[in-house]
Amino acid sequence: MKPIRIIDVVKAVKAIDYSSPNRFAEITRVVFDSREAGIDSLFVPLKGETDGHDYIQSAIKNGATAALWSRPESEAPDDIAIILVDDTLTALQDLAKYYLNEIKPKVVAITGSNGKTTTKDMTAAVLNAKFNVHKTKGNYNNEIGLPFTILEMPEETEILVLEMGMSGPGEISFLSQLATPDVAAITIIGESHLEHLGSRRNIAKAKLEILEGLKADGLFIYPIDEPLIREEMPIDGDYHKRTFGIDHTATVYAYGVQSGKNSTSFKVSLDDREILEIPIIGEYNVQNALVALTIADYFGLSMLEVKAYLEHFELTENRSQWMDGVNGSQILNDAYNASPTSMTAVLEAYAALPREGRKFVLLGDIRELGEKSSELHASLSASVKPEDFDEVYLYGEEIAPLYQALEGSFPADRLHHFKGEKAPLIEALREKITHTDQILIKSSFGTDLLSVVKALKE
């Protein structure tokens, strides 16, 4: 980060008061964790399960230069610059806004029910072909992670690529107004967080809040195949629009998609010569790539320029990743999260892969679906066909309706349902899986099939 003088921090966060041994001191780093504090850092104590204020002494010991403070002034230590504020999180966000305005990069904001992290990583990768890019690390996509990402941005950053996540209405609006993007994209509308939002229409509305901070004359990118976006999009917006999809009516579309075990290739309407490739499976990832390529095109990059960058983009862990499993098998690990949309997308992608040995699937409970949980789990049966998969394992309580739905269509001896303790499931799989077999593992994070992935890993 470009150094900021403490007196500028004081102004940016509209501090109530401050005490500083040296008002011209500068900070070059913002930390939440006192153990990471060091010379020139600003310690931001946040209230979560613990209260960061309790760790101020540790931050001082580690050399922090300054700290935000929202407890009574009388409780503040006097051997560090203290910046007194009403609320440390709001102050962090205000500081991020100030810093963004100091650096003035072009800002790209990505939201959607699925594929945000993947699309963000692809977008940053292709823009790297020509620009200094800074992006959200991992999944730092909320009201804390986003300002933190902004404050980590190096001075020379030309384009900032931000992931924006949410679990309820109002959150994307806030993030978008903080970051005021030049480009805003929605990857897909799914059913994640249905429990909090009630309907897919409400989810679409919540994602569309990304337009609330979009700069006048900015670009909005959205999937062609989602009528809810078209229906709910404000008509008076002063921005440009581009759609993407496999459908040829999209502004930017993909065709000639070829699925391989480790990569997917396709052509894009932006350039009829280049065959592009992503190091990851699934048509759904081609959709994610289309967002990245539309953004690259907007910034003046050609497909030839970005091709090699897309091929080698760095995937965040546990997203549709192959790993070596027990008995010489191969695990397709997608156990990081799940929604009905993403599960359908991944099941279809996995079914489309060329066969090596037998294909197994292990699907676990999808959480946070609210009252539609049974119906949505059962609806997955359309993507679980006996000709595509040899053995189907289901795990958990909420997924039981899928078991019932499959009982009619899927041979009983190849269909298994486990609940409770994971040990018997792991045991059964270890016994059944042999050399050349493949297994797709997917569930919500909370269902913890990652522990099964771990147990089946070589």
Question: Residue 117, annotated ligand binder?
Answer: yes
Nearest approach, Cβ of residue 363 and ligand ATP (Å): 12
Nearby residues of 371 by Cβ (< 8 Å), 6 or more positions away: none
Q: Which is nearer to ligand ATP, 70 or 113 (CB)?
A: 113
**Is residue 117 close enough to count as binding Mg ion by CB under 5 A?**
yes
Contacts for 236 with CB less than 8 Å, ≥ 6 apart: none
Is the Cβ of residue 97 or residue 207 nearer to ligand ATP in the bound state? 207
What whole-number distance in Å separates Cα of residue 116 and Cα of residue 285?
11
Q: Which is nearer to Mg ion, 139 or 302 (by Cβ)?
A: 139
Least distance in angstroms from the C-beta of 244 to Mg ion: 19
CB of residue 112 to Mg ion, shortest distance in Å: 9
Residue 255 three-state SS: strand
In the bound complex, what is the minimum distance in angstroms from residue 196's beta carbon to ligand ATP? 13
359-364 β-sheet, strand order: 321-324, 330-334, 438-442, 359-364, 391-395, 415-418
Q: Which of 53, 97, 116, 377 binds Mg ion (CB under 5 A)?
A: 116
Helix (H/G/I), strand (E/B), else coil: 193: coil
Q: Which is nearer to ligand ATP, 52 or 165 (CB)?
A: 165
* Site residues for ligand ATP per CB under 6 A: 112, 114-118, 139, 141, 165, 187-188, 284, 287-288, 319-320, 334, 336-337, 341-342, 345-346
What, of Mg ion, ligand ATP, none, does residue 145 touch, CB below 5 to 8 Å by kind?
none
Where residue 359 falls (left for φ over 0; alpha for ψ -120 to 50; beta otherwise) is beta
Instruction: Give the residue with the Cβ less far from ligand ATP, 41 or 187.
Output: 187
Q: Is 187 annotated as a binding residue?
A: no
Contacting Mg ion within 125-164 (CB under 5 A)? 139
Nearer to ligand ATP, 34 or 333 (CB): 333
The count of other CB atoms within 10 Å of the CB of residue 445 is 13
In the bound complex, what is the minimum distance in angstroms from residue 448's beta carbon to ligand ATP?
Answer: 15
DSSP assignments along 277-307, one per residue = EESS--HHHHHHHHHHHHHHHHTT--HHHHH
CB of 137 to Mg ion, least distance (A): 11
How far apart CA 382 and CA 375 sit, in angstroms, is: 12
CB of 332 to ligand ATP, least distance (A): 10
Residue of minimal CB distance from ligand ATP? 115
CB of 290 to ligand ATP, least distance (A): 9
- CA nearest neighbour of 290 among 247, 229, 261: 247
If you write DSSP's letter for every residue of 338-355 in order, what string do you get?
Answer: --HHHHHHHHHHHHHSPP
What's the N-to-C CA distance of the chain in angstroms?
41
Between 65 and 187, name the residue whose CB sits nearer to Mg ion. 187
Q: Is position 114 annotated in a ligand binding site?
A: yes
Q: Is 115 labelled as part of a ligand binding site?
A: yes
**Does 116 belong to an annotated binding site?**
yes
Closest-CB residue for Mg ion?
117
Distance separating alpha carbons of residues 215 and 108, to the nearest angstrom: 11
Q: Give the tokens for residue 435.
A: 């050399």
User: Between residues 115 and 325, which has the closer beta carbon with respect to Mg ion?
Assistant: 115
Which residues 6+ apart lie within 8 Å of 355 measured at CB?
none
Query: Do the beta carbons of residue 80 and residue 154 sit within 8 Å?
Result: no
Task: Count CA atoms closer than 13 A to 17's CA, side-chain side.
Answer: 7
Of 215, 145, 204, nearest to 169 (Cα)? 204
341 annotated as ligand-binding: no
How many of the chain's residues bind Mg ion (CB under 5 A)?
3
Question: Would you tell me which residues interact with Mg ion (CB under 5 A)?
Answer: 116-117, 139
In the annotated binding site for ATP, the residues are: 112-118
